[in-house]
Amino acid sequence: MRATATHFLKALNSHLGRHHSNSTAMKLLYPTSLKLDVQSIEGFPLTLHAYDVKTPIPDDLIDAEVLVTWANAASNLKDAAGRMKNLRWIQSLAAGPNDVLSAGFDASKITITTGSGLHDRTVAEHALGLLLNAARRFFEMRDYQLQGKWPGHLGGPQPDRPAGKFTTLRDARVLIWGFGNIAKTLTPSLVGLGSTIKGVARHPGVRNGIEVYSEDKLPELLPETDALVMILPGDPSTKHALNAERMRMLPKHAWVVNVGRGTSIDEDALVDALEAGTIGGAALDVFETEPLPESSRLWKAPNVIVSPHAAGGRPQGSEALIVENLRKLLAGQQLRNVI
Ligand SMILES: NC(=O)c1ccc[n+]([C@@H]2O[C@H](COP(=O)([O-])OP(=O)(O)OC[C@H]3O[C@@H](n4cnc5c(N)ncnc54)[C@H](OP(=O)(O)O)[C@@H]3O)[C@@H](O)[C@H]2O)c1
């Protein structure tokens, strides 16, 4: 056992660019901002230390090599970026770790891995809920309920799958822009309800039986879309991906659902389209500025569902990802979810 641990330690030291094996044990800092089964990440030649994500890292932990982050204060990350000189690997539990990326860590020395995969089920469920809300207009029923009024136009006999309206997922043409892990989890539920799914990603091809196109095909895809589900990361390449020009390509009845990052939609252009009635509605879980400012025109725009970044927020299987990446690190293998 001891020989194995020494081997691991040497491998870790060598991987982390250290050349002496008798240095003090390496440290992994894990956050107290979520409940982790710490026992299940024991057994590696590292010591594990809890830390508070809202305050600066204590001096006795500042030499840690590995930092696991979840819901850290911006000030905590900025301080860590400046003071944690031995840091070599950050495992974020967020699928889109924009907070870590903007904190000023030295990308040439530190490997950053995301929590993509930990939010698949929760975000897929939320996206499905937003789509159903949009099609079945629960939001409008609630508006009437709060006024003590019967929304008669939404009940009783209804046309079945009327053309030019988004009223059901059956036969709906759903385009998922950002066809990654979350999209792959969402797709079977939509297929089960009778939707036709197409995807958009950087790399075209067939994924999980779904045809995925590159962005240059959007002019053909958007006009054939009843519901556009955006699940894009919030990096510079996706800034205002859905802009005024692309919104104009959507049919007038099409809904936009966004559970990725708010920066991928030009919100001013979206409000203009909603107010002009050139798109059907928008169900948004993420916004360019969060919390959505009181001054935002989105609050009062027609057919908008505001969800307060509630889709994810509870990483599932974090321990398994940390263990998998620790093992890969020690084996000198490529980590999972490297940015
Ligand atoms: N609302 C919430 O609470 C919540 C929770 C979790 C995650 N999220 C957001 O959801 C995002 C996606 O998560 P995920 O786990 O599904 O990530 P993922 O598996 O990495 O998938 C991201 C997808 O986006 C595509 N993509 C990236 N940049 C693109 C670009 N410039 N143009 C077109 N496609 C692009 C990728 O294409 P390729 O596959 O071709 O590379 C990939 O298909 C996260 O980054 C995060 O911001 C939100």
Q: Does residue 96's CB lie within 6 angstroms of at least one atom of ligand 1?
A: yes
Domain ranges in the chain? 2-118+315-330, 120-306
Q: Round to whole Å and give the CA distance between 333 and 218.
A: 37
The third-level CATH classification (topology) of the domain covering 2-118+315-330 is Rossmann fold (3.40.50)
pTM for the structure as a whole:
0.91
Q: Which residues of the chain have pLDDT under 50?
A: 1-8, 19-22
Assign 298 to helix, strand or coil: helix
Q: Which helix (H) or strand (E) holds 6?
A: helix 2-15
CATH second-level architecture of 120-306? Answer: 3-Layer(aba) Sandwich (3.40)
Fold equal for 2-118+315-330 and 120-306: yes
- CB contact set of 198 (below 8 Å; sequence gap of 6+): 173, 174, 175, 176, 210, 211, 212, 213, 221
82-116 confidence digits (pLDDT tens) = 999 999 999 999 998 999 999 999 989 999 999 99
Burial 65-95 (b: 16+ CB within 10 A, else e): bbbbbbebeeebbbbbbeebeebbbbbbbbb
Ligand 1: which atom is nearest the Cα of residue 312?
A: 3
Q: Give the count of beta carbons closer than 10 Å to the beta carbon of residue 163.
A: 6
Q: In terms of DSSP bridges, do strands 304-306 and 46-51 run parallel, antiparallel, or are they unpaired?
A: unpaired
- The β-bridge relationship of strands 111-113 and 304-306 is unpaired
Q: Between helices 138-146 and 120-136, what is the axis angle to 10°?
A: 60
In the reported structure, the alpha carbon of residue 232 is separated from the centroid of ligand 1 by a whole-number distance in angstroms of: 4
pLDDT of 17 reads: 53
Q: What is the pLDDT of residues 234-256, one digit of tens each?
A: 989 999 999 999 999 999 999 99
pLDDT attached to residue 1:
34
- List of residues 6+ apart from 105 with CB closer than 8 A: 77, 80, 81, 87, 90, 112
Q: What atom in ligand 1 is closest to the CA of residue 201? A: 34
Q: Are 195 and 170 in contact (CB under 8 A)?
A: yes
Q: Name the closest-CA residue to atom 42, ligand 1.
A: 180
The two beta strands, 255-258 and 281-284, are parallel
Most ligand 1 atoms within 8 A of CB, residue of 123, 211, 284 to mutate: 123
Model pLDDT, residue 22: 43
Tell me what the pLDDT averaged over the chain comes to: 93
Which pLDDT score is estimated for 6? 45
Does 313 contact ligand 1 (Cβ within 6 A)?
A: yes
